[in-house]
Structure 1
Amino acid sequence: MNKANFEDLQIFQLAEKLADMIWDIVINCNSFEKDTIGKQFTRAVDSIGANIAEGNGRYNLQDNLRFIKIARGSLYETKYWLKRADIRKLLVNEQLDNIEAIINELSPKLNAYLKYLDMTIKKQNK
């Protein structure tokens, strides 16, 4: 895989789409909502794509794998903040449905990429 083309990875594209969707919601929140849930939500979702990019730019596959695991953790944190935003009535149903659809597409693809990297590392170590 060409490391320079991380932007071509579906997981990166989905992470960017998800981050943009969250940003569009948070930017329209009032100052209290932005200061509490908004900043945390944005940091979590932005971290997904940032870690995919950083991992891909690392020297070896083990580092890449570690950053993809961090990206997965950030995805789970994003799910947490999505639930909080929904409970606190910061989302309309359409927004929630659209965000959940991206998360439900991204999550298994991210796990598959983790497995791919892990298998590749194991093959190299034989």
Structure 2
Amino acid sequence: MAENFEKLECWKKCFELKKVIKEQILSNLPDSEKYDLHSQLLRSSRSATANIAEGWGRYHYKENIRFLLNARGSVAEVLDHSIEANDCGYIKNEVLEKIREITDSCIRLINGYIKYLRNQNELKS
């Protein structure tokens, strides 16, 4: 297991997603979306990395997996909000496609980490 959650590939990719959201979407949203779409996107992108970190800090692998599942849900939420931003004309199709690629990668990495944790537990049994 990684010595620090920052070493986890899934955390790194979700952190990249959070940076892209901040740089390419949040700055393009109108003031009227400050407490709606802006807030939702910021919270869900922060939630993904925070849940991975919190899960890593838990003692039991089942707790870690529960937080990883929450992180995966937050990544899906980021994609949903990004689709909404595109539909409203706040971001271009190219930005949405970049978000799709990163969220797909985040989910694959989170799923891989979940599988790894489950396998490690089976080896101990």
- TM > 0.5 fold call: yes
Q: Which residue of 2 aligns with 1:65?
A: 65
Taking the aligned partners of 1:58 and 1:51, their CA distance within structure 2 comes to: 11
Distance (Å, rounded) in 1 between the aligned partners of 2:113 and 2:59: 17
Figure out how many residues of one structure are paired with residues of the other and give that number: 124
Deviation at 1:19, TM superposition (A): 0.5
In 2, the alpha carbon distance for the partners of 1:85 and 1:123 equals 45
In the alignment, what sits opposite 2:102? Answer: 102
**Alignment correspondent of 2:35:** 35
Task: Report the Cα distance in structure 2 between the residues aligned to 1:93 and 1:27, rounded to whole angstroms.
Answer: 16
Aligned to 1:10: 9
The CA RMSD measured in Å over matched residues stands at 1.4
Deviates more, 1:18-27 or 1:43-52: 18-27
Q: TM (normalized to structure 1)?
A: 0.89
The TM-score, its normalising length taken from structure 2, stands at 0.89
How far apart, CA to CA, are the structure 2 residues paired with 1:99 and 1:63?
Answer: 28
Q: Is the 8 A contact 2:28 2:90 kept in 1?
A: no
Instruction: State whether residues 27 and 34 of structure 1, in contact with CA within 8 Å, keep that contact through their aligned partners in structure 2.
Output: no
Output one character per residue of 1:78-116: Cα deviation in whole Å (capped at 9) or x when no partner: 121111111111111221122111112121111111111
> Sequence identity of aligned pairs in percent?
34
Q: Deviations over 1:25-61 (max 9, x none)?
A: 2134222122211101111111111101111011221
Runs of 4+ in 1 over 6 A off after TM superposition: none
Partner of 2:88 in structure 1?
A: 88
Q: 1:62·1:121 contact (CA, 8 Å) conserved in 2?
A: no
Deviation at 1:13, TM superposition (A): 0.7
- Tell me the SS of whatever aligns to 1:59: coil
Q: Distance in 2 between matches of 1:62 and 1:107?
A: 18
In 1, distance between residues paired with 2:17 and 2:117?
A: 23
The runs of 5 or more residues in structure 2 that have no matched partner are none
